[in-house]
Amino acid sequence: MRMKALVGLFSAVAGMLLLGTPAIAEVAVNTPFVKEDISLDPFDPAWERISTSPVPLMPQTLFTPRGGGATKELAVQALQTPTHLYLRLEWADPTKATAQEAHRTEGFDDTVAIQLPLEPEAGVPSPFMGDAEHPVNIWHWKASWQESLDAAQAHPRTVRDVERDVTEPIFRTGEAVGNLFSQPARSSSVEHLIASGFGTLTTTQPQAVEGRGVWQSGRWHVVMRRALAAQDQAVEADLRNVRAIPIA
């Protein structure tokens, strides 16, 4: 069954998409059906035929850190193929954050995230990372991860001056325990997570979402893609046979 719409309930704080409770902005995003999968390129010609929905963003005011960022609106597109769901998000940003800036203690990455219920037809979960009765999936795209991927693809023969000792995991504890931020190489610029309220956000295995972001002419253009069928329904929403999905 093809999905007729995605319902987006959006707001922003520090680059993350969350909901504000005083006045929720609810926008229906049409999800047309396309016969074949498309690329992750945000400028794939297929998007030229897909309508764009402006989604106003609202600051999060319930938890620290309160407040919102400079971005007031997202341009959202969506499409579905026989096997995948695609989301395209675009917003204005006059400066492009670098990975070096993002890794500083006081630095911030350019990021965007969406939240959808682990059980799409079980009702609308709390926009604040779900709740105990309504866990959610979060797809979190990061510009620093995109920069790492782009560099690896542009310079595939890069070598280290001093090769790490691959036999001593004690020196690579983050990598050894599966911390995605510590991995020497990554396959996607999107992190797939599960949550059931603030303080429960957890990365998942498998990492089910692919993505790509491009900064051009003062705007970020980000595409995220996930298979409709879940690899593991304990940590992934099954998106088959769903008519509408509430997304924050």
List the one residue out of 87, 111, 128, 113 whose CA is nearest residue 228.
87
Q: What is the mean pLDDT of each run of 10 residues along the chain (248 residues)?
A: 39 31 64 93 96 83 69 90 95 83 71 90 82 93 89 67 59 63 71 91 90 96 96 90 83
Inter-residue contact 50 to 6 (CB < 8 Å): no
Quickly count: other Cβ atoms within 10 Å of residue 203's Cβ.
16
Inter-residue contact 13 to 59 (CB < 8 Å): yes
* Measured distance CA(222)–CA(210) in Å, rounded: 11
152 Cβ contact partners less than 8 Å away, ≥ 6 residues apart: 158, 185
To the question of pTM greater than 0.75 for the whole model, the response is: yes
Q: H-type helices in 106-180, by residue range?
A: 143-154, 173-176
